Amino acid sequence: MASTTPSKPSSGGLQTTTIIAVVVVGILLIVGGIILGQATPLLFPQQASAEAAQVDNLFHIMLVIGGAIFLLVQGLLVFSMWRFRARKGETGDGEPIHGNTTLEIVWTAIPAVIVFVLTILSWQVFNSLQAPKPGEASVVVAGARFNWAFTYNVPLSILGYEVDETLLPPDVKDDLADDGTVSITSATLYSYVNQPVALAMDARDVIHAFWVPAFRVKQDLIPGRTTTVRFTPTVADTYPSGIQCAELCGANHGIMRADIVVAENEAEYNKLLTPILESRLFPPADPVVRGRAILESNVYPCYTCHVLSDLSSANWVGNVGPALDGVADRAATSRANATSQTAADYLYTAIHEPGAYLVPGYGNLMPQLGVPECDVWAMVAYLATQSTSGSAPFEVVQPEACIPQVSGPPGSQPPPAGEATAEAAAETEVVPAEATAEATAEGS
Ligand code: CUA
């Protein structure tokens, strides 16, 4: 910097006044950087996970360094504009200056050291976030345009009462036989304070990004690969839209959000999961009620791509796929004709193999959602009631294995009927294949 001073050719040694000026400016830059670094985090959301502090500390260091560099660059710019401005009557070119080895070494070495230090610090924080924690809970996450679904494996013991396992639905028995737990799915992420959580995440269609600003974690979901993200919540609270998709994934990317509920302790957490478990153990006997509950639970992303007025309370707002109002009529007429299937089989196929038949005017956008067989049939039973007349224009026969044997645990309190219904939906993950069917009807 000394070399930029005009007139006096520098002759090696720095003058005392120059050294003092450099020291003073350096101190001002550091103080300014610290002030900027302190002020900016005021804009952040609360720190609600054990990881948040480390991430914020690292970011704080970057802000201080970035703030000092910002002040240095802008300060030199303003200083130069004033100090080297064209004086009155001055028309010639400036003094030609070429090369300053010392300066170039300095301005290369300082950033190199900064980047090296930041790399080490970042690596430490990254490793700390990724490291498996003792006793961590595993939750499986499915991301699909445009929603999130969370699957938990829970033991029957959280119910707090005895259940006759011989009367449970066949798929639940299989589940229990595997590892002694039942898998339940919700559109909400549940956890509790100081419980480390590991999410195993899969994308069903395109790349999504799981982002929780309050936890300071973010991780992409990549089709064909399972990615993991870890965190430990520290603040019991409900976080509406606490999860956001941070990767532009299509038309309704903006609504790809989910709530988080962090309970005070494990007992409270179990209480939150109990109704979801009960809805799986004791599903409503009427398949129409069951199917409606599944679709209404928003566990499957159907609502983000289709409109279904009957379920307006569950935010069925999507316009990516065909609207489902009156889908039963179209399934029974135009779609049945176009696919040579019965209306019920057509609806089943449209959910189970979304790409099999496309409704004219709509692309092959619906992902394979892996909806369990019985849930698909329940959805078909419900969709068959979506006709202009209000009653099903065709019959939907439920497979034997999908007919619940009991509607509540013997000798104990059965789940409230309404709750069980709504919860049943949460268990499965399905997508609206029906949309396809409809489009045909509309096209014809
Ligand atoms: Cu998923 Cu954006």
Ligand 1 closest atom vs CA 221: 1
Which residue has the least CA distance to atom 1 on ligand 1?
A: 208
Helix 417-427 to helix 287-296 angle (10° resolution) is 60
Who's near 168: CB < 8 A, 6+ residues apart? 176, 281, 405
Chain segment 379-405, per-residue pLDDT in tens: 888 888 888 887 877 788 888 778 777
Distances (CA, A) of 410 to 73, 158, 168, 429: 75, 17, 11, 29
Chain segment 263-290, per-residue pLDDT in tens: 999 999 999 999 999 988 888 888 888 8
Residue 444 has pLDDT above 60, yes or no: no
Query: Is this model's pTM higher than 0.75 or not?
Result: yes
| pLDDT score at 109 | 95
Residue 436 has pLDDT above 60, yes or no: no
Report the pocket of ligand 1 as residue ranges, CB < 6 Å: 146, 208, 245, 247-249, 253, 256
Q: Mean pLDDT across the stretch 13-23?
A: 80
Count CB atoms within 10 A of the CB of residue 297.
25
**CA 259 / ligand 1 centre spacing (Å):** 15
**CA 149 / ligand 1 centre spacing (Å):** 13
CA distance 401 to 404: 8
* 338 or 47: which leads in pLDDT: 47
pLDDT tier at 128 (50, 70, 90 boundaries)? very high
Chain segment 65-81, per-residue pLDDT in tens: 888 888 888 888 998 89
| One-letter amino acid of 264 | E
**CA 148 / ligand 1 centre spacing (Å):** 10
DSSP state of 6: -
Ligand 1 closest atom vs CA 248: 2
Q: What is the mean pLDDT of the chain?
A: 83
3-state secondary structure of 75: helix
Ligand 1 closest atom vs CA 146: 1
CA distance 181 to 165: 12
Ligand 1 closest atom vs CA 254: 2
**CA 225 / ligand 1 centre spacing (Å):** 16
| pLDDT score at 390 | 77
pLDDT tier at 165 (50, 70, 90 boundaries)? confident
**CA 270 / ligand 1 centre spacing (Å):** 30
Q: Which parts of 3-93 fold into alpha helices (H)?
A: 16-39, 52-83
Q: Mean pLDDT across the stretch 24-48?
A: 82
Main-chain phi, psi angles of 299, to 5 degrees:
-70, -35
Main-chain phi, psi angles of 50, to 5 degrees:
-65, -25
Ligand 1 closest atom vs CA 143: 1
3-state secondary structure of 288: helix
**CA 333 / ligand 1 centre spacing (Å):** 35
**CA 23 / ligand 1 centre spacing (Å):** 49
* 23 or 11: which leads in pLDDT: 23
Chain segment 412-426, per-residue pLDDT in tens: 444 444 444 444 444
Q: Mean pLDDT across the stretch 332-345?
A: 74
